[in-house]
Every structure is written in structure tokens, then in C-alpha cells.
Amino acid sequence: MTYESIRDNPAIRTYITKADETLAVLGYTEHSFAHVTAVAEMAGYILEKLGYPARTVELAKIAGFLHDIGNLVNRVEHSQSGAVMAFRMLDQMGFPPEEIAMVTSAIGNHDEGTGVPVSPLAAALILADKSDVRRSRVRAIDPSQYDIHDRVNYSVTKSELKIDDSNENIRLRLRIDTQLGSVMDYFEIFIERMILCRKAAEKLGLHFRLIINEQPLL
């Protein structure tokens, strides 16, 4: 079973769609196919760049695509419910137990507050997920209706997560329009996520660097 077969599975796509519809009602930013695909591809990039086996890279993409399905159950502790859902689906598809364990452990540990980079797969997923900040995730049309999450995402005009050629640093570079949102706004809602990213980078033998408007901050 491959990332493509997971990505194209009708049941999985339905769960992702319905989970995102639930989050839309609750006022959250986009968590649909744009987000999970970006996370899948970035998690795969991280492990591929660091020389992990091709199958591990494939599993990172699968974990990235499935990581938010738990929002279908409830936003609270969605990483744990998502891991249980992923376990059931991957088991039914005939994945080997070792691979199921790797994917579900990563999903169950991807969110701040409860998540820990317990494996390279989990670390890559954390970094990929927490770096997906962009204005196209904002659903609200009227800026007067934006909450702080909307303002921060909408203010980010460019976002790039990249490992340097020496494989020593992983840099999240953001360009923020400070007329739309401040750097302090970003830290107010993302500081816990950035700390988790630093721990995830360390798990991979990297240093996490945050650069906003060309100013190194972490």
C-alpha cells in the first residue's frame, strides 16, 4: 500500500472532508486536502532529505495525510482519536503491524500539549504540520470577523520550511505583513508549537530556526 492509494481512498477522503466541515462550523482555519497534502509532502521531504529509507518516507506521507481525521470525532484530543481511526483503517487494508505502529504513534503525538516527537516519523509530522501557516487557510471573508488565528494566517504572505545543505538546521522562514498581524500575535498562538518544533528538530539531529521578516527569532 502506498501514499497514493491512501490519498485516493474514497472513505478516507470522506472522513477528511467531513472533519473539515466540522472545524468550519467551529470557526477553525482550513484543515482539508490542501492542508493534509502539504503536511504529507513536507513530512516526506524532511525524512528524504535526511536520508531515511524510502518506505519510511512513504509512511511519513501517509501519516501526514491522515493526521487530522480525528477532528471528525472532536477537536479535543483529535490526535488520539485520529490515531485510533488510522489504526483501524490501516489494519483493514493489510498494513504490517510495524508500519501501523509507526504511523499511529506519529499521528497520536503530533499535537502540542500532548504530543512528543517519539520517533523520526513523529518529528517530521510535527514540523510539517506546525509550519503550514498561510493566508489561504483563512475561511472568513470579512476581515472584521477575523479572530487571532485568522489574522496571523492571513498576515503571512510567504512561508518556507527548509533543511540546509549541511543537514544541520531546519529553518522556518515567514514573511509577515505587520499591517495585518503582528509578530507578537504570531507568538501568542504559536509559541507552544514552536517549542514542539524545536524538540522535533532535535529528535532528527537538527537545530530549529525561526526567521520572521529576515530576523532570526529562535
Listed in sequence order, the residues at least 6 apart from 212 whose beta carbon sits closer than 8 Å to its beta carbon are 173, 174, 175, 176, 183, 186
pLDDT of residue 145: 86
Distance of alpha carbon 193 from alpha carbon 129, whole angstroms: 10
Side chain identity at 106, as an amino acid letter?
A: A
Distance of alpha carbon 135 from alpha carbon 20, whole angstroms: 17
Q: How many domains does the chain have?
A: 1
pLDDT of residue 214: 95
Hey, what's the torsion of the CAs at 208, 213, 216, 218, to 10 degrees? -50
pLDDT of residue 94: 96
Domain membership of residue 177 as a residue range:
3-216
Q: Is 0.85 surpassed by the pTM of this model?
A: yes
The C-alpha angle with vertex 108 and arms to 36 and 38, in degrees rounded to 5, equals 15
Side chain identity at 103, as an amino acid letter?
A: V
* Ramachandran area for residue 11 (φ above 0: left; ψ -120 to 50: alpha; else beta): alpha
Within 10 angstroms of residue 192's Cβ, the number of other Cβ atoms is 12
* Ramachandran area for residue 66 (φ above 0: left; ψ -120 to 50: alpha; else beta): alpha
pLDDT of residue 31: 96
Nine-digit cell string for 57: 518516507
DSSP string, 122-144: HHHHHHHHHT---GGG---SSGG
Side chain identity at 2, as an amino acid letter?
A: T
| pLDDT digits (tens), the chain, 218 positions | 899 999 999 999 999 999 999 999 999 999 999 999 999 999 999 999 999 999 999 999 999 999 999 999 999 999 999 999 999 999 999 999 999 999 999 999 999 989 999 999 999 999 999 999 999 999 988 888 898 889 999 999 999 999 999 999 999 999 999 999 899 999 988 999 999 999 999 999 999 999 999 999 97
What CATH number corresponds to the domain at position 114?
1.10.3210.10
Distance of alpha carbon 202 from alpha carbon 27, whole angstroms: 33
Instruction: From residue 98, give the alpha-carbon distance in Å to each of 40, 66, 182.
Output: 20, 17, 44
Listed in sequence order, the residues at least 6 apart from 206 whose beta carbon sits closer than 8 Å to its beta carbon are 163, 167, 168, 169, 170
